[in-house]
Structure 1
Amino acid sequence: MSQTPTTLTAERILEATEEVLRRHGPAKATVVDVARALGVSHGSVYRHFRTKAALREAVTKRWLDRTTGVLAAIVAAPDLDPETRVREWLAALFAAKRRKAFDDPELFATYSVLTTETVETVVGEHIAELTGQLTEIVRAGADSGAFTAENPATTALALFRATDRFHDPHYAGEWEQPGVEAEFEAVLDLLMRGLRARG
């Protein structure tokens, strides 16, 4: 059944695109497939997303934004001390990436391909948003005297990079190995010892 133009929204197109990607993978999924799934012409899809690349970027951003939304609540939690916020933020990032990898492996594999296509744009913005969130926590810790961090942004980026193994999709194959949680906690303990202000 054909959809009327007023019911075709960007969000509906992105939902359909995600389903098409899950079924066909990034190499075979086309705008025509998305339009067919929605019961509209491919021209209707192009009215919302001018190119196939723009559609792929938008669906990748939507997928990545699910993680940043969860983490924003930890950044804004005033009842947590800075060290607990850093630990919870990094643990939530690790948990979110693991869920994506193991709850829907086909879609995760698809997005792993798409993120390499959009590394300069969507992925770069995602990493900037994540490190921006972490910078806010580090800055709050430095301001309160809990952390030693002359440059919160540099420190946040160092924390992010030091934990790459636990959130970078390239390491997803290691995330189910026995002992990975203990390794993650050991890395966090080491980082926190380095970050704490000297008394």
Structure 2
Amino acid sequence: MPPTSETLTAERILEATEEVLRRHGPAKATVVDVARALGVSHGSVYRHFRTKAALREAVTKRWLDRTAQRLAGIAGADDRSPEQRLRDWLAALFAAKRHKAGDDPELFATYSVLVEELGGVVRDHIADLTGQLTRIIAAGVEAGAFPLSDPAIAARAVFHATSRFHDPGHAREWTAPGIDEEFEAVVDLLVRGLRTADGQG
């Protein structure tokens, strides 16, 4: 039975929007399509999201937040050393992005387009991820593993240095032969750099 306007929630609208985007792509998907998929009027959708742009922003944020939430668990895993957390976090980010690109390429392509349109959402997502990296590196500084004066600068450097393994613009490279070995080599180089950031060793 289709939801009534009384039982309609923002989450249900976002789920339907994702399916509509998967089916039609960002250029053709409309709020009317979303309403039709839910069996409600488009006015019911607009009661939750005032504009098409607001709906697109919310569904894109939801998509990006799934990755950030998974990574947050690793960033806060105090039972692992900061170095291991850093390695695990970067590996999980690469795995999450590769999973999205490989398992649902239509939706990945759709979100890649939307992300280009929504600079504020992307900036917030990157700030969240680099904030998690900063916490991991700061823990390494506190433990004496990473002799750094500014964990935030180091976190941004690590994030940008590994962009080949998480920036959607490189998605076609993620299934290339040897990509896992290249990822490990980059991470090893970064970890060695963090360990000897004061120039010793």
Interval of TM-score (by shorter of Structure 1 and Structure 2): over 0.9
The root-mean-square deviation of aligned C-alpha atoms, in Å, is 1.0
Give per-residue Cα distances to partners, 1:119-172, cap 9 Å, x unaligned.
2x1111000000000000000100110002210100000000000000000000
Cα distance between partner residues in 2 of 1:6 and 1:64: 28
Cα distance between partner residues in 2 of 1:29 and 1:60: 14
Aligned counterpart, 1:149: 148
The amino acid that maps onto 2:167 is: D
Matches within 5 A, 1:44-83: 44-83=44-83
Aligned counterpart, 2:13: 13
Cα distance between partner residues in 2 of 1:171 and 1:179: 15
Give the SS at the match of 1:116: helix
Aligned counterpart, 1:126: 125
Cα distance between partner residues in 2 of 1:126 and 1:2: 33
Cα distance between partner residues in 2 of 1:9 and 1:3: 9
Cα distance between partner residues in 2 of 1:2 and 1:162: 47
Aligned counterpart, 2:104: 104
Cα distance between partner residues in 1 of 2:188 and 2:151: 19
So what's the TM-score if we normalise by structure 2?
0.96
1:2 CA displacement: 4.6
Cα distance between partner residues in 1 of 2:116 and 2:135: 28
The amino acid that maps onto 1:116 is: E
Cα distance between partner residues in 2 of 1:67 and 1:146: 27
Aligned counterpart, 1:135: 134
2:120 aligned with 1:114, yes or no? no
So what's the TM-score if we normalise by structure 1?
0.97
Matches within 5 A, 1:154-173: 154-173=153-172
Cα distance between partner residues in 1 of 2:148 and 2:88: 19
1:11 CA displacement: 0.1
Give per-residue Cα distances to partners, 1:70-125, cap 9 Å, x unaligned.
10110111110011110000000000000000000000000000000102x11110
Give the SS at the match of 2:148: coil
Give the SS at the match of 1:28: coil
1:3 CA displacement: 2.5
Aligned counterpart, 2:35: 35
Aligned counterpart, 1:24: 24
Cα distance between partner residues in 2 of 1:11 and 1:45: 11
Unaligned runs of 5+ in 2: none
Cα distance between partner residues in 1 of 2:17 and 2:132: 29
Cα distance between partner residues in 1 of 2:6 and 2:43: 14
Give the SS at the match of 1:26: coil
Moved over 3 A (4+): none
Aligned counterpart, 2:188: 189
